[in-house]
Structure 1
Amino acid sequence: MTHIDRYDYAFDPEGDAWAARVLRRIPPQGSVLELGPGPGAMTRVLLARGYAVTVVENDPEALSALQALGAQCIASDLDGSDWTAALADQQFDVILACDVLEHLRRPDEVLRALNTVLAPTGSLIISVPNIAYAGVVAGLRQGLFDYSDKGQLDRTHVHFFTRRSLERNLLDCGWAPRIWEANRVPLEQSEFAGCWKDLSDAQRSSLRDGWHDFDVYQWMVVATASSNSVAWEGAAARAQVDQLREELQALSLQQKRELASLLEHQKAFSEAKEIIEELQGEVARLHKQTMLFETEVQRLGKLLFDRTWLGHLRRLMGHR
């Protein structure tokens, strides 16, 4: 398998694959700048739909495949500056950066440079792996952080992102995140299935409970260029976002604790109810036995009384 073959794949553009969901975020028509498309799995679909596509790619094999597709190609390394010069005076309706930022040494510089080539009403669409995926955490619980040819721990990844860190990067670089979408992958279907299985039930439960995003394998965000007139005002806005997130997390943990307490009380109440029902049944049984005993005592008393008087009468008759 060649270097670019690792990043080539087929998907149904009308289906529910992650690539198809990303493409659905692109407006029906316009110009697209695609960063690091590899051999062009998504480029192929974009061109077939009539978009004008410009790509920035530095792999010679990938460039050959992209040129054959008919895309306008800029042979350049995104970690360099040549590509920005090649795009001078051009603006695009959409910039597509899917699974690219994690491969760059200076993703912040790329994000800042993209502000100059986006049309005023355009959008930036980014997809990145989520290093906070519970499968990665499961591996860390067992001391494992092994790189591989592709996936979360692709050996060519030099940056790792969570939703929060990506959001901060975008804000710092002049972008306003508008829409987030999660690619959720069951742990049992990921490359971390073995690590997940080796955890105890309690460990798996601790990773799932109270953590809504434990199974988010990738994050997608649609962002627009921010300006001095918008509400996202640097550090103040970030501090407010961080505060609200911390408050939400605190409320979530409090709710979790209260729910656990409620469930414990419900369990205790249910057990007490069962004990009360058993005791009530025992009381009823004893009450029934007591009534039977009293009835028997009365019968025996009457019988004894009758025999006593009968003996007395016999003695009287004997004296006569």
Structure 2
Amino acid sequence: MTTDDGPIAKQTTYYENSRPEIVAALPRPLGAVLDVGCGAGNVGASVRDAGATRVVGVEYVPEQAERARSLLDRVITGPVEAAFGELADERFDTILCLDVLEHLVDPEAVLRNLRELAAPGAHIQISVPNARHVSLAWDLLVRGTFGYTEHGHRDNTHLRWFTRSDIVAAAERAGWKVQRVSHPPLTRTRQLDRLTRGRSTEFTVGQWYVLAQRSVG
């Protein structure tokens, strides 16, 4: 679950999130789905309900991976970088990479490797925290701190930061053709977004959603 300000606390609900607004917007048919960072498996269960023919998950946290096994066809426990060998012979029509890239040492290498697992015409759906969120400017300029926390926009496990243009460029450098950039539904900032004709959104949304397709070649 997210708000305009970013993801909710990293508690049990963090791993149980089903991301309905993202699943609803995925291109159909979903075909075989790879869910990187699948948590407890609820997103995978949602894409299965939406017509996915097979759902494979990768999850770093063993306890959550074990929970996901009751919902998905297969779950690999461990970092995504270590899972590529096990997945080398599989191809996926839809790849989910939700709230994952910001935790990785080399997110573009992971995006390139995911492209190798993508079937012709496959789509990848990405979500990342918005590095331009106004709360960061407030903390830096007023409070004099970057403001790492145990969860949320500046989770202390985040290693990488992306603006809207950064994540688009990273996906395209990795061989994906970006088709759509969006964000969580606006709530408190909806009127400001209208008044500024969308210009304020760069600073008020907590996340960017990027849908891309496997490029030819």
Same fold (TM > 0.5): yes
Alignment of 1:153-232 (within 5 A): 153-183=154-184, 185=186, 211-227=200-216
Q: Structure 1 residues 186, 135: closer, same or farther in 2, change over 3 A?
A: farther
Which structure has the larger Rg over C-alpha atoms?
Answer: 1
**1:5 equivalent in alignment to 2:7:** no
Q: Which runs of 5+ in 2 are unaligned?
A: 1-9, 190-195
Q: What is the alpha-carbon distance in structure 2 between the residues aligned to residue 158 and residue 97 of structure 1?
A: 16
Is this contact kept in 1: 2:16–2:39, CA < 8 A?
no
Q: Looking at both structures, which has the greater relative contact order when contacts are Cα pairs under 8 Å and sequence separation is at least 6? A: 2
Greater fraction of residues in helix: 1
Deviation at 1:131, TM superposition (A): 1.2
Offset, 1:44? 2.5
Change (3 A) 1:97 1:106: same
Q: How many Å apart are 1:218 and its aligned residue?
A: 0.8
Distance of 1:50 and 1:180 partners within structure 2: 23
Does the aligned pair in 2 maintain the 1:47–1:71 contact within 8 Å?
Answer: no
The equivalent residue for 2:6 is none
Amino acid paired to 1:150: H
Q: Between the two proteins, what is the percent identity of the paired residues?
A: 31
Pairs aligned (count): 198
- 5+ residue gaps, structure 1, are 12-18, 189-207, 229-320
- What TM-score comes out, normalization by structure 2 length? 0.81
Cα RMSD of the aligned pairs, angstroms, is 2.3
**Counterpart contact for 1:184–1:217, Cα < 8 Å:** no
Partner Cα separation in structure 2 for residue 54 and residue 226 of structure 1: 22
8 Å CA contact 1:163, 1:219 repeated in 2: yes
Partners in 2 of 1:187 and 1:25 — Cα distance?
Answer: 22
Q: Could you give the per-residue CA deviations for residues 221-241 of structure 1, whole angstroms, max 9, x where no partner exists?
A: 11112246xxxxxxxxxxxxx
TM-score (norm 1): 0.57
**Separation in structure 1 between the aligned mates of residue 63 and residue 11 of structure 2, nearest angstrom:** 7
User: How many angstroms apart in 2 are the aligned matches of 1:85 and 1:30?
Assistant: 22
- 1:45-194 equivalence runs, <5 A: 45-51=46-52, 52-78=54-80, 80=81, 82-142=82-142, 143-183=144-184, 185=186
Q: Which amino acid in the other structure matches residue 5 of structure 1?
A: T
